[in-house]
Amino acid sequence: MSANLQTPQWLINARSNALHYLDLFVNNPGIEKVAKEFDSQYLLITDLNERIDYLASLAATHWDFRKGRERFEITETFEIDDPDSRLGKIVHEGTMLMEMSKASSATLSHYNILGILGGAYRSPYNRLRYGLEQHVTYDKLVFLGSEREVLPPEQKETKDYAPAARTEFELGKGAIKSLMGDQLANGEYEEALLQGRVAHMKRKDNLPILILSAPPLQGGKRANTADTYDFLRRVEPDLDATKNILFATAGMYRYAQYFDAVREISLKTGADVEIIGFDATYDNQKFKASQFLQELKSAADAAVRLRNAMQGNK
């Protein structure tokens, strides 16, 4: 084979890392504990690809409580969330084994980018706060947001840190100004870029801060987490195998968000990604069994997307 047609070492490494984490996910004792309650056939499957597909099918059948809705639009109650639900208890035990209910911390002392994943309500504030509490050094701070509308109920809960915010992008700006206001230098500006927009700030020591508003690059009604990763990769064209990124989020979302980050960033640039998250007590929440199952479905779907991406770029 000609040297210029050989698979680069960074891509070999990225694929190997992705396969390792996909294997850990579908064979995790916690996911097995939960899955067998819905379909015991799952435990008999040993092939990695078959497990990924079977889990995604199982999740689509049993764990889809959103039915295409936003998380905040779910208002009904589910039997699995009853305090005396045996199945609900097993879900909580399984997700605890998976560390979806446990806080995680940065493993390195320095990163090229500290990325804060966007979200609704107080998520931008709490995720930024958690990221800053890691006491790591970094070359750039980036908030990954979108033009998702902040609806009136959400505005009431975010007015203390982003009182004028009408989009997720503006929630990110509000969180940064609220938590880092005394560190910020003058000279904020915005630019339109690649059908989205980017706000530029900097700390007084000249460390750059970017607030991204990603467009729906992957065809959805609005930008999702994968779109924001895609946009980040385009905004930061120098990402390569020598770079690393630390993303901060909430613990229960780490699996799906990690798989999408590997797919959109690591497999396309070689950059290493790490995702940390806080537990529910950090922002005074208590998640229900149905919520954990919904996020397991998101993780299973993301696992399929990552596996398919690797098969497509061989």
- The 10s digit of each residue's pLDDT in 197-215 is 999 999 999 999 999 999 9
pLDDT at residue 77, rounded to an integer = 80
For the stretch 214-248, pLDDT in tens is: 999 877 788 999 999 999 999 999 999 999 999 99
Shared domain check, 277 and 187: yes
pLDDT at residue 305, rounded to an integer = 97
In a domain, 296, yes or no: no
pLDDT at residue 101, rounded to an integer = 85
Shared domain check, 158 and 35: no
How many domains are there within the chain?
2
- Average pLDDT, integer, range 133-157: 95
Answer whether 0.85 is exceeded by the pTM. yes
For every residue of the chain, DSSP letters joined together read --GGGSPPHHHHHHHHHHHHHHHHHHT-HHHHHHHHHH-GGGGG---HHHHHHHHHHHHHHHS--STT--GGG--S--GGGSTT-HHHHHHHHHHHHTTTTS----SSSEEEEEEEE--STTHHHHHHHHHHTT--EEEEEEEEEE--B--HHHHHHHTTT-TT--BHHHHHHHHHHHHHGGGBPS--EEEEETTEEEEEEEBTT--EEEEEEE--TTSSSS--HHHHHHHHHHH-TT--TT-EEEEEEEGGGHHHHHHHHIIIIIHHH--EEEEEEE-GGGGT----HHHHHHHHHHHHHHHHHHHHHHHHT-
Shared domain check, 278 and 163: yes
Shared domain check, 115 and 70: no
In a domain, 298, yes or no: no
Shared domain check, 150 and 23: no
Shared domain check, 202 and 121: yes
Which residue among 71, 97, 123 closes a domain? 97
In a domain, 309, yes or no: no
In a domain, 300, yes or no: no
pLDDT at residue 143, rounded to an integer = 98
- Average pLDDT, integer, range 76-96: 93
- Average pLDDT, integer, range 66-81: 77
Predicted confidence (pLDDT) at residue 73 exceeds the cutoff of 80 = no
Least confident of 63-72, 103-112, 184-193, 273-282: 63-72
Predicted confidence (pLDDT) at residue 1 exceeds the cutoff of 60 = no
In a domain, 53, yes or no: yes
Q: What are the C-alpha distances in Å from 132 to residues 52, 125, 204, 310?
A: 35, 11, 16, 33
Which residue among 31, 62, 97 closes a domain? 97
Predicted confidence (pLDDT) at residue 314 exceeds the cutoff of 80 = no
pLDDT at residue 313, rounded to an integer = 54
Shared domain check, 119 and 89: no
pLDDT at residue 4, rounded to an integer = 54
Percent of the chain with pLDDT over 90: 85
In a domain, 218, yes or no: yes
How high is the mean pLDDT of the chain? 93
- Average pLDDT, integer, range 54-58: 98
- Average pLDDT, integer, range 93-101: 92
In a domain, 230, yes or no: yes
Residues whose CB falls within 8 Å of the CB of residue 207, separated by 6 or more in sequence, listed in order: 138, 139, 140, 141
Which residue among 97, 120, 144 closes a domain? 97
Buried/exposed 53-89: b ≥16 CB within 10 Å, e otherwise: bbbbebbeebbebeeeeeeeebeeeeebbeeebebbe
Confidence bin at 256 (pLDDT 50/70/90): very high
Shared domain check, 260 and 189: yes
Q: Which domain holds residue 198?
A: 110-285
Shared domain check, 85 and 56: yes
Shared domain check, 117 and 50: no
Q: Cβ distance 8 to 16 under 8 Å?
A: no
pLDDT at residue 88, rounded to an integer = 97
Query: What CATH number did the domain enclosing 184 receive?
Result: 3.40.50.620
pLDDT at residue 261, rounded to an integer = 98
Shared domain check, 126 and 262: yes
In a domain, 1, yes or no: no
- Average pLDDT, integer, range 288-295: 94
Shared domain check, 277 and 153: yes
